Amino acid sequence: MPFDTAIRSALQKDSPAFGFWLCLNSASAAKTFLRSGAQSPTGGFSWVLVDAEHGLITDRDYYELNNAIASEGASPIIRVPWGEEWMIKRALDAGAHGVMTPMCHSEEDAARIVKYSKYPPRGTRGYGPMFAPHAMPGVAAGEQHDAHADDSLIVAVQIESRPGVENVEKIAAVDGLDVLLIGPFDLAKQLGVTRGGDEHEAAIQRILKAAKSAGKTAAIFCTDGNDARNRIAQGFNMVSIITDVGVLAEGMSRQLAFAAGTAQGGEKRDGY
């Protein structure tokens, strides 16, 4: 029986699984965001995407970030720089509750990512999870972790290229793949279309339909809460609502505008 993680529990519910992008190597920032979210009526975040592809994060940061995120009741999912076996192994051995790989172009790509993420005989993941259970509350090292890791950890790929869209129905059918996440910025650039335009949106809807039809989770990167709300209404059940960098930049510029008198509103704060 799979062991419980925040993201797996969230995906079994009717409500959407909210997450955010962590681009900065800051356990304290991750914990601050998660605790703030936990006070929300929504119930907070169930996952955090630890961005080792474009963010300022490397594999030497994985262990601390995974443990910080998991300690707040959310699942760390690491986006590795590329779908290479050693990168996936490093992320999972450091305690990630799942991995995400960029630029999945074909069913062969997806099957390879699944293989790298599973222990033999289902895959080729090398054995050495000395530290992985530290980020999995209630999961004992040894038999409990080893016997159930394959069925408990999330395997996600990003669909963000023309071949990915053209092959998305075959990709979605790959056994062992859990999540198809859309990277809308790369998708627009790779298709050579305007982000938010009709061709871009048609590709997004095709990916959504393929994931749903195959019984897989349809996920998408969103620019803000309004974008996320619209995507949820379309049927996406796993959404990243914003990046840490976006929150910091927006919050600081908004408060500066209030102080300078160039903007009105904002609730009074009492504290740091």
Q: What is the pLDDT of residue 191?
A: 98
Does the pTM surpass 0.85? The reply is: yes
Among 85-89, 172-176, 264-268, the least confident range? 264-268
- Distance from C-alpha of 54 to C-alpha of 112, rounded to nearest angstrom: 22
Give the strand pairing for 154-159 and 217-221. Answer: unpaired
CATH superfamily membership of 6-260: Phosphoenolpyruvate-binding domains (3.20.20.60)
Report the pLDDT averaged over residues 12-33: 97
| 178 pLDDT tier (thresholds 50, 70, 90) | very high
Q: Is the pLDDT of residue 1 over 80?
A: no
Helix axes 85-93, 107-117, angle to 10 degrees: 40
- Distance from C-alpha of 41 to C-alpha of 38, rounded to nearest angstrom: 8
Domain ranges of the chain: 6-260
Q: Give the whole-number percent of the chain exceeding pLDDT 90.
A: 94
Helix axes 198-213, 184-191, angle to 10 degrees: 120
Report the pLDDT averaged over residues 102-130: 98
Catalytic residue among 54, 105, 134, 145: 54
Q: Give the whole-number percent of the chain exceeding pLDDT 70.
A: 100
Report pLDDT digits (tens) over 185-233.
999 999 999 999 999 999 999 999 999 999 999 999 999 999 999 999 9
Report pLDDT digits (tens) over 23-78.
999 999 999 999 999 998 888 999 999 999 999 999 999 999 999 999 999 999 99
Catalytic-residue membership of 54 = yes
Alpha carbon distances (Å) from 140 to 4, 12, 77, 147: 12, 23, 20, 11
| 17 pLDDT tier (thresholds 50, 70, 90) | very high
If you average pLDDT over every residue of the chain, what do you get?
Answer: 96
